[in-house]
Amino acid sequence: MISESLSYLRTSDDWVKTVVIGGLLTLLGFLVVPTILVAGYLVRVLRATMHGDETPPRFDDWGDLAGDGVRAFVIAVVYGLVPAVLIGVTAAFAGLAAGPGPRSGLIVGGVAFVGGLLALVVGLLAAYIIPAALANYAEQGSVRAGFAVGDLRPILTSGTYATAWVMGFAVVFVAAVVTALLNVVPLLGTVVGAFVSFYAITAAYYIVGHAWGDLRGLDLHDDEGEMGAERPAV
C-alpha cells in the first residue's frame, strides 16, 4: 500500500501541476488560507479513495475546496485544542511552582516532565483520531460526523485503521527527515520541503482513505457514498 500511495499522484496526467500548487500552498501555510485549501484537497483525496477512485483530484472548484477545507480545519483544530490546553496548563503550574532554592527547581522540572509527557500522549492520540474524523466528514459531508463517537470508535479500534495510520505516519516521518536533511542548505529545506510534505501527506491520506473504504464497505458505485458530499455541511 505504501508503494501505491507514493505513486498515487503520478497516475494523473497533470500531477506536476497538482504538486506545484499543493507545494506552494503548503509553503504559504502560515497565511492560514493556503492551509485551508490543502485541507480541502485532502478531503477530496479521502472522498475519492474511500470509494475506490484511483484518480487524484485536482485543484479546481475553489469555492467547494475552501468549504471542505474550512470544515476540515475546524475539526482538526478542535481535536488539537486538548494537547494545546495541556501545554498551557503545564506552563502555568510550572510558573506557580517556580521559586528560589533547589527544591523549587525539582518541582518545576517534575511538573514540566509530567505535563510534557501527557501532552505528547494526548497529541499523538489527536493525530491518530483526526484522519478518521476527516474521513467520516468526507463520507457524510457533515461537521458533526467528525465528532460522531459511534462512527469513529469501531474504526479507531480496528487493526486495519491502526495499520493504515502507522504506514501513513511512516511516509510523513520519512518526508520530515528528508526535509531536515535539506535544511543543511539555507532555504532549500523550507522550499523543497513544502513540496515533499504535500506529496507525503497526500500519500498518507490515500492510505487512510482506502482503509476507511474497506472498513465501511464502500465502493465506487455506492450511491450513499456518492451522495455524502452533497449532504448538509452542519
Of residues 14, 59, 13, the one with CA closest to residue 40: 59
Q: E strands along 121-182, which residues?
A: none
Determine the pLDDT at residue 94: 59
Q: Which residues contact 44 (CB under 8 A, 6 or more apart)?
A: 57, 65, 68, 138
What is the rounded CA–CA span in Å between residue 211 and residue 132? 10
Q: How high is the mean pLDDT of the chain?
A: 86
pLDDT on residue 85 = 74
- Count of residues in the chain: 234
Whole domain around residue 51: which residue ranges? 2-228
User: For residue 233, is it within any domain?
Assistant: no
174 occurs within a structural domain: yes
Residue with cell 474521513: 135
What's the pLDDT score for residue 215? 94
Q: In the structure grid, which three cell numbers stand for residue 62, read together?
A: 475553489
- The better pLDDT of the pair 16, 87 is held by 16
Does some domain include residue 37?
Answer: yes
The predicted pLDDT at position 226 comes to 43
Look at residue 76 and tell me if it is in a domain: yes
Q: Which residue has the higher pLDDT, 221 or 62?
A: 62
Asked if residue 176 has pLDDT above 80, the reply is: yes
Please work out, in degrees rounded to the nearest 5, the angle formed at the alpha carbon of residue 25 by the alpha carbons of 27 and 165.
85
pLDDT at 64: 96
User: How would you classify residue 176: left for phi > 0, otherwise alpha for psi between -120 and 50, otherwise beta?
Assistant: alpha
Task: Compare 76 and 91 and report the one with higher pLDDT.
Answer: 76
Residue 141 lies in a domain: yes
Which residue would you say has higher pLDDT here, 228 or 2?
2
How many Cα atoms occupy the beta-carbon half-sphere of 158 within 13 Å?
Answer: 16
Q: Is residue 44 one of the residues assigned to a domain?
A: yes
| Confidence tier at 233 by pLDDT (50, 70, 90) | very low
Q: Is residue 169 part of a domain?
A: yes
Structural domains in the chain (count): 1
Asked if 145 and 233 touch (Cβ cutoff 8 Å), the reply is no
Residue 234 lies in a domain: no
Contact indicator for 16, 50 with CB cutoff of 8 Å: no
Residue 111's pLDDT band, with cuts at 50, 70 and 90, is low
Q: pLDDT tens-digit profile of 33-80? A: 999 999 999 999 999 999 999 999 999 999 999 999 999 999 999 998
Among 15, 38, 51, CA closest to 221 = 51
Residue appearing with cell numbers 474524523 = 133
